[in-house]
Amino acid sequence: MSKNVLVLADVREQKLRNVSFEALAAARMVAEGGQITAAVFGSFAKDLVDPLAHYGADRVITVLNPELDQYTTDAYFQAFKKVIEHVQPDVILTGHTAVGRDVSPRVAARLGTGLISDCTNVELVNGQIVFTRPIYAGKAFVKKVVKDGIVFATLRPNNIAAGEPDGNRTAQVEELQVDFAPDSLRTLVKDIVKKSAGGVDLSEARIIVSGGRGVKSAEGFKPLQELADVLGGAVGASRGACDSGYCDYALQIGQTGKVVTPDLYIACGISGAIQHLAGMSNSKVIVAINKDPEAPIFQVADYGIVGDLFEVVPLLTEEFKKLLASG
Amino acid sequence: MNILVCLKQTFDTEERITIENGKINEDGAEFVINPYDEYAVEEAIKLKEQHGGEVTVITIGPERAEQALRTAMAMGADKGVIVDLEDLGDQVDEHTIAQVLAATIREEDLDFDIILCGYMAVDDGSAQVGPRLAELLEIPHISTITKLTVEGDKVSVEKDVEGDVEYIDAKLPILVTAQQGLNDPRYPSLPGIMKAKKKPLTRLELDDLDLDEEEIAAKTEIIETFLPPKKEAGKILTGDLADQAKELVQLLRSEAKVI
């Protein structure tokens, strides 16, 4: 049976995040011929209509109120709710990101619906939409369905492949306006400090170079950063490295911290405690560099080098430079 | 200041996960306060130390979950409420939990200026209950905070946004969810542990709350639980380190095809 699907586009710094295109691909798969509507918020939203159409939206709803330029829960909540009332979707999909993760549960509570968060796969089984999601940070998985009412889910970035964009596709565009009641925007963002230097976010990075206690100091992360820079990747860390004060907790990967699934994960001086493995063991390819050949990280690694990371990492950086220069 | 903390008892993060009869096997597992909720407990106690007032810790769970409340009380929380939903069996999801928490807070007359939760639990990892509860209680929320300051009814927080930091102002009453980096939870002291045994604990069951079982029943259903496929042993390179580096880069391009 065809279903109307609503995708809330995930915007960061006035740009669409890739997870929006991934959600459109999932939407196409579950819609079974139904209409796919994308909603995008902010005074700049008109500029984002074309890519949403190229990636599969049949209809794009823009909400241009400037109150939506910077994400706040209350503003997004009201706009999202208004769009849902307008579209009357059977299915709602969005990213499991700082935005989707924050606003979706609140909207689900208001609508009295279920919500399946942080999904890594979506499939149709006999017409029913089945979501796969990790539990215990990926030590196990469950398949989950919504029993009745709107099927509402947030999708983990980097797990469902976006489709090929079609530059000729166009979408019907509609504009909605939200009247924000006085005092209905109860939180005020005063300032934002960018910490993710280099702009590669851990949860969406294709390549992650990660350091553990073996990195020994904040200074020790430098060669890792250099390798990440050459590869266009991001730097992560184990709890050990964060607890030792070598880096910010924002970089922590593990059951506490971030769960990541990059194409390539290079673990440097990380022993591989269970709680760290939970955060990265579903990466597509894992490289381990560690002095201790018995380190448990080697059990999940596709490739291992037993050696001092301070020798190995710069060698790798040089080799990658050569390879990438040769094309 | 009246402070509520919602917490969940979870497996210790070092536990291995096994499945028995299609479900996660709990036998012999070590249980702890969900690490993110532990930050919430610590922050609540710090607020009480600065502003005075009372910290109430609430949990939903089986009998064993009392231990998590006692630990929070040993850290400094004043009283606890435990709601046992055994009667609902599998009919429990985030929708249910948020409804039961909201009903507990309303019906037990738990006055609050601020509610603290962990931003997610390390078992289900859904990150839903805090924002859902705030909506049901009709108060604002700010998630994934790494710093909290309260002066009068003014609240200032630092919020982690995937690595960036947002500085946000708001007013009480509010619900905030704790991100790692908010604080370093204290260890319960021995006198704290002794005192905790005598602190008041309210035990509730579903029947004690004015809730329609059908309305709060889970909206979602788990149809399968499984372990990820076991990884095959990888390739440990040998030889001179410079040659290994060269070989690895080649393998990543030609065999793994990720570069």
Other residues' Cβ atoms within 10 Å of the Cβ of residue B62:
12
Q: Which structural domain range is residue B256 located in?
A: 229-259
The answer to whether A124 contacts chain B (CB < 8 Å) is no
Q: How far apart are CA A278 and CA A53, in angstroms?
A: 36
Other residues' Cβ atoms within 10 Å of the Cβ of residue B21:
6
Asked if the model's pLDDT at residue A197 lies above 60, the reply is: no
Helix (H, G, I), strand (E, B) or coil at B132: helix
Q: Which residues pair with A144 in a beta bridge?
A: A131, B222
Looking at beta carbons, which residues of chain B come within 8 Å of A17? none
- Mean pLDDT across A5-14: 96
Task: Classify residue B224: in a domain, yes or no.
Answer: no
**Residues 6 or more apart in contact with residue B221 via CB below 8 angstroms:** A144, A145, A146, A147, B90
Looking at beta carbons, which residues of chain B come within 8 Å of A250? 160, 163, 181
Give the residue among A271, A85, A72 at the shortest CA–CA distance from B170: A72
pTM equals: 0.93
Looking at beta carbons, which residues of chain B come within 8 Å of A319? 245-246, 248-249
- Mean pLDDT across A152-169: 95
Q: How far apart are CA B69 and CA B9, in angstroms?
A: 9
Residue A203: what pLDDT?
80
Do residue A189 and residue B161 have CB atoms under 8 angstroms apart?
no
Helix (H, G, I), strand (E, B) or coil at B107: helix
Looking at beta carbons, which residues of chain A come within 8 Å of B223? 130, 143-145
Q: Does residue B192 share a domain with residue B69?
A: yes
Domain count, chain B: 2
> Is A275 one of the annotated binding-site residues?
yes
Give the residue among A93, A141, A101 at the shortest CA–CA distance from B129: A101
**Least confident range of A308-312, A323-327, B155-159:** A323-327
The answer to whether A128 contacts chain B (CB < 8 Å) is no
3-state SS of chain A is CCCCEEEECCEECCEECHHHHHHHHHHHHHHCCCCEEEEEECCCHHHHHHHHHHCCCCEEEEECCHHHCCCCHHHHHHHHHHHHHHHCCCEEEEECCCCHHHHHHHHHHHHCCCCEEEECEEEEECCEEEEEEEEHHHCEEEEEEECCCCEEEEECCCCCCCCCCCCCCCCEEEEECCCCCCCCCCCEEEEEECCCHHHCCHHHCCEEEEECHHHCCCHHHHHHHHHHHHHCCEEEECHHHHHCCCCCHHHEECCCCECCCCCEEEEECCCCCHHHHHHHCCCCEEEEEECCCCCCHHHHCCEEEECCHHHHHHHHHHHHHHHHHHC
- Mean pLDDT across B37-60: 98
> Domain holding B28: CATH number?
3.40.50.620
Q: Nearest 5°: CA angle at A320, between A319 and A322?
A: 65
- In tens, the pLDDT along B84-103 reads 999 898 889 999 999 999 99
**Residues 6 or more apart in contact with residue B69 via CB below 8 angstroms:** B7, B57, B59, B77, B80, B82, B201
Name the residue facing A305 among B129, B224, B237 (closest C-beta). Answer: B237
Q: For residue A46, with 0-12 CB atoms within 10 Å meaning exposed, 13-18 middle and 19 or more buried, which class applies?
A: middle
Q: Does residue B244 share a domain with residue B211?
A: no
Mean pLDDT score of chain A = 95
| A88-119 exposure pattern, b = at least 16 Cβ within 10 A, e = fewer | ebbbbbbbbbbbbbbbbbbbbbebebbbbbbb
- Mean pLDDT across B226-245: 91
Q: Give how far Cα B41 sits from Cα of B62, B137, B182, Å.
A: 20, 20, 11
Among A residues 199-238, those touching chain B with beta carbons less than 8 Å apart = 201-203, 207, 231
The length of chain A in residues reads 327
Name the residue facing B164 among A196, A300, A320 (closest C-beta). Answer: A196
Task: Classify residue B58: in a domain, yes or no.
Answer: yes
Do residue A274 and residue B16 have CB atoms under 8 angstroms apart?
yes
HSE at residue A140, side-chain half, CA atoms within 13 A, is 22
Q: Which structure tokens are listed for B162?
A: 């995937």
How far A162 CA lies from chain B's nearest CA (Å)? 17
Do residue A140 and residue B251 have CB atoms under 8 angstroms apart?
no
- Mean pLDDT across A95-104: 97
Q: Does residue B24 share a domain with residue B128?
A: yes
Q: Does residue B158 share a domain with residue B43?
A: yes
Do residue A307 and residue B228 have CB atoms under 8 angstroms apart?
no
Do residue B164 and residue A130 have CB atoms under 8 angstroms apart?
no
- Mean pLDDT across B22-47: 96
Residue A202: what pLDDT?
85
Name the one residue in this structure whose structure tokens are 């995930």.
A10
Residue A145: what pLDDT?
98
Q: Does residue B250 share a domain with residue B182?
A: no
Name the residue facing B256 among A136, A249, A302 (closest C-beta). Answer: A302
> Is A276 one of the annotated binding-site residues?
yes
Task: Classify residue B115: in a domain, yes or no.
Answer: yes
Q: Does residue B248 share a domain with residue B128?
A: no
> Is A36 one of the annotated binding-site residues?
no
Asked if the model's pLDDT at residue A198 lies above 70, the reply is: no
Residues of chain A above pLDDT 90, percent = 91
Amino acid at residue number B47: L
Strand ranges for chain B from DSSP E? 2-7, 9-11, 19-20, 23-24, 31-33, 54-60, 79-84, 114-118, 141-151, 154-161, 164-171, 174-178, 201-205, 220-226, 235-236
Asked if the model's pLDDT at residue A33 lies above 60, the reply is: yes
> Is A78 one of the annotated binding-site residues?
no
Task: Classify residue B19: in a domain, yes or no.
Answer: yes
Looking at beta carbons, which residues of chain A come within 8 Å of B135? 105-106, 109-110
How far B147 CA lies from chain A's nearest CA (Å)? 13
- In tens, the pLDDT along A100-157 reads 999 999 999 999 999 999 999 999 999 999 999 999 999 999 999 999 899 999 999 9
Name the residue facing A282 among B36, B134, B228 (closest C-beta). Answer: B228
HSE at residue B205, side-chain half, CA atoms within 13 A, is 6
Helix (H, G, I), strand (E, B) or coil at B198: coil
Q: Which structure tokens are listed for A164?
A: 């090929």
Q: How far apart are CA A255 and CA A295, in angstroms?
A: 19
Give the residue among A236, A258, A288 at the shortest CA–CA distance from A134: A258
Q: Does residue B253 share a domain with residue B157?
A: no
Binned at pLDDT 50, 70 and 90, residue A196 comes out as low
> Is A96 one of the annotated binding-site residues?
no
Residues of chain A above pLDDT 70, percent = 99
> Is A42 one of the annotated binding-site residues?
no
Task: Classify residue B118: in a domain, yes or no.
Answer: yes
**Pairs of residues, one from chain A and one from chain B, whose beta carbons lie less than 8 Å apart:** 262
Name the one residue in this structure whose structure tokens are 């509402």.
A152
Mean pLDDT score of chain B = 96
Among A residues 249-268, those touching chain B with beta carbons less than 8 Å apart = 249-252, 254-257, 259, 263-264
Looking at beta carbons, which residues of chain A come within 8 Å of B176? none
Give, for B241, the enclosing helix (H) or strand (E): helix B241-254
> Is A240:A187 a contact under the CB 8 Å cutoff?
no
The answer to whether A243 contacts chain B (CB < 8 Å) is no
Residue A194: what pLDDT?
84
**Most B CBs within 10 Å: which of A70, A159, A309, A319, as the mutation test of the B interface?**
A319
Asked if the model's pLDDT at residue A70 lies above 60, the reply is: yes
3-state SS of A254-277 is CCCCECCCCCEEEEECCCCCHHHH
- In tens, the pLDDT along B60-78 reads 999 999 999 999 999 999 9
- In tens, the pLDDT along A229-279 reads 999 999 999 999 999 999 988 899 998 888 899 999 999 999 999 999 999
The answer to whether A18 contacts chain B (CB < 8 Å) is no
The length of chain B in residues reads 259
Q: Does residue B239 share a domain with residue B183?
A: no
- Closest residue, chain A, to B10 (C-alpha): A136
Looking at beta carbons, which residues of chain B come within 8 Å of A285? 252, 256, 258
- Mean pLDDT across B150-154: 97
How far B240 CA lies from chain A's nearest CA (Å)? 10
- Closest residue, chain A, to B129 (C-alpha): A105
Residue A55: what pLDDT?
98
Q: Does residue B162 share a domain with residue B110?
A: yes
Q: Which structure tokens are listed for B237?
A: 């390179």
Give the residue among B108, B114, B64, B106 at the shortest CA–CA distance from B84: B64
Q: Which structure tokens are listed for A101?
A: 């993760």
> Is A251:A238 a contact under the CB 8 Å cutoff?
no
Q: Does residue B89 share a domain with residue B41?
A: yes
Q: Which residues pair with A123 in a beta bridge?
A: A130
Residue A250: what pLDDT?
86
| DSSP letter assigned to residue B236 | E
Q: Does residue B157 share a domain with residue B124?
A: yes
Task: Classify residue B192: in a domain, yes or no.
Answer: yes
Asked if the model's pLDDT at residue A199 lies above 70, the reply is: no
Binned at pLDDT 50, 70 and 90, residue A200 comes out as confident
Residue A111: what pLDDT?
97
> Is A53:A20 a contact under the CB 8 Å cutoff?
no
- Mean pLDDT across A39-57: 98
Residue A165: what pLDDT?
97
> Is A255 one of the annotated binding-site residues?
yes
How far B24 CA lies from chain A's nearest CA (Å)? 9
Q: Does residue B245 share a domain with residue B127?
A: no
Give, for B254, the enclosing helix (H) or strand (E): helix B241-254
Go through the domains of chain A in sequence order and give each one's CATH number: 5-175 (3.40.50.620), 202-326 (3.40.50.1220)
